[in-house]
Amino acid sequence: MNDSQRSDPLAPLDVGLERLPADTDPDKVADVLRRDGGLIIEGLVTPTAARAIDAELAPHVEGRHAGFNPEFDDVFYGSNTKRIQGLAAKSRTFVHEILLNRVLLDLADRILLPSCGDYWMSQAETIFIGPGNAAQELHRDDLNWADAARLGIDLQISVLTAVGDYDAEVGSTMVIPRSHQWSLDDPIDAADARPVELDPGDALVYLGSLVHGGGHNRTADRWRKGVYCSYLLGWLTPEEATARSLTPELAASLPERARRLLGWSSLRGTPLDADGAASALRLWQLDEADHARHEGLFVQ
């Protein structure tokens, strides 16, 4: 720790984030996340699962051009970056290994459930950063919900799992450890950001209040491969229209917990244990006759 950090406990850490194995006690993982705003879970999924997710998404990634709207979105989302969304419909391994990952759900239970009846998925996408792609502006995800971000509670947990190269040269995520403790109006200095390097299967987990951004891919021929997934308080609107990415048949074929996370349920304002698993199948809270619209796929 340097002198400025000793005199100011909220100054950014010189060192990067802590790295914990996936079998670490969930209370400890939650404490580290609350303290530093982010951490690395080593081996969140196995390298085999990471490869399977990459392979299942590959046809979609190959069929997608890089970049977005050159006048606006490219600056933030990346002119040579491939983002494929609707992942639950495209990769079963993503659903089972990332979305439903026990380590992530244990963490979300501890961080998000105190402020909501249940949380849900806000977005899942590939963030494959191609050669030459410039660094993304450092930002806080919570500012998508700017008024709620000022309430002083945790809104979102984001997870970036490496499914291929994820080193500093290729544009690994830049983070400012402990910046989640700053005021939202504090200036952001890119010199404070540190790269988070991951092996396939490792994941960067961070709060929506942590300052971060995609790194600069300085290579001529390598892609940085991360799969993003985020969990959001149930009373906030997700970034992605997740439920619309699934047909009723596909939704019915998923585990009940996945369905709830993907928006196939009504709002639960009460804690899960008071509400029970049966509510997961309740698409409409009150009008049971309306279930006919789904031709018996979902039962009360």
Ligand X SMILES: O=C(O)CCC(=O)C(=O)O
Where do contacts with ligand X occur on this chain (CB under 6 A)?
127, 136, 160, 173, 212-214, 226
| Least spacing, CB of residue 268 vs ligand X, in Å | 27
Least distance (Å) from ligand X to the CB of residue 63?
21
Q: How far is the CB of 171 from ligand X (least distance, A)?
A: 7
Nearer to ligand X, 224 or 268 (CB): 224
Q: Which is nearer to ligand X, 159 or 283 (by Cβ)? A: 159
Nearer to ligand X, 133 or 279 (CB): 133
User: Closer CB to ligand X, residue 101 or residue 136?
Assistant: 136
Nearest CB to ligand X, comparing residues 214 and 264: 214
Closest CB 175 distance from ligand X, rounded Å: 9
Q: Two tokens at 205?
A: 């987990």
Q: Which is nearer to ligand X, 207 or 258 (CB)?
A: 207
Give least dist CB 119 to ligand X, A: 19
Shortest Cβ 162–ligand X spacing (Å): 10
State the DSSP string of the chain.
Answer: --HHHHH-TTSPPSS---EEETTS-HHHHHHHHHHHSEEEEETSS-HHHHHHHHHHHHHHHHTS-S---TTTHHHHH-TTEE----HHHH-HHIIIIIIT-HHHHHHHHHHTGGGSS-EEEEEEEEEEEPTTPPPPPPB-GGGGGHHHHTTSS--EEEEEEESS--SGGGTPPEE-TTGGGS-TTS---GGG-EE----TT-EEEEETTS-EEPPP---SS--EEEEEEEEEETTS--SS-GGGGS-HHHHHTS-HHHHHHTT-S----S-HHHH-GGGGG-SSSS-GGGGGGGTTSS--
